Structure 1
Amino acid sequence: MKTLFLFFLTFLSLQNCANKMQEKFPVAIVEAYHQRWVAGVRGGGSGTSVYIGFEKALPQEIELKQLYFRNQLAKANKISESEYNFSFVGTANFDKGDELQSDVPSKAKANQPPFAIKEDEAILEYTQKGEKKYFKITNLKEKEMLAYPSARPQN
Structure 2
Amino acid sequence: MTKILFFMAGVLMVVLFASCGSNKDLQERAPAQFNKVYYTYNSNGIELNIPVVSIQDELVSLDAVYFHGMKSVLEKSDDQPNLYVANFRMGTGDMVMDADPAKEYGNKPPQLPEESPFSIDEDEAILVFTQDDKIKYYKLTGIVEKE
Shorter chain as denominator, the TM-score bin is: 0.7 to 0.9
The answer for the alignment partner of 2:94 in structure 1 is 94
- Segments of 5+ residues of structure 2 without an aligned counterpart are 98-103
1:5-154 to 2 correspondences below 5 Å: 12-13=18-19, 15-17=21-23, 19-38=24-43, 46-79=44-77, 80-95=80-95, 97=97, 99-100=107-108, 103-104=109-110, 107-109=111-113, 111-144=114-147
Deviation, 1:57, is 3.3
Aligned pair count? 131
SS of 2:116's equivalent in the other structure is: coil
Identity rate, percent: 25
Deviation, 1:90, is 2.0
Is the 2:75–2:85 contact (alpha carbons within 8 Å) kept by the matching residues of 1?
A: yes
TM-score by length of 2: 0.73
Is the 2:64–2:127 contact (alpha carbons within 8 Å) kept by the matching residues of 1?
A: yes
The answer for the alignment partner of 2:101 in structure 1 is none
SS of 1:23's equivalent in the other structure is: coil
The RMSD of aligned alpha carbons is 2.5
Cα deviation digits, residues 60-94 of structure 1 (max 9, x gap): 12111111111122111112553211111122243
Higher Cα Rg: structure 1 or 2? 2
Is the 2:33–2:55 contact (alpha carbons within 8 Å) kept by the matching residues of 1?
A: no
Deviation, 1:48, is 1.1
The aligned amino acid for 1:68 is: Y
Distance 1:91 1:134 in 2: 28
Distance 2:93 2:51 in 1: 29
Is the 2:31–2:55 contact (alpha carbons within 8 Å) kept by the matching residues of 1?
A: no
Is the 2:62–2:128 contact (alpha carbons within 8 Å) kept by the matching residues of 1?
A: yes
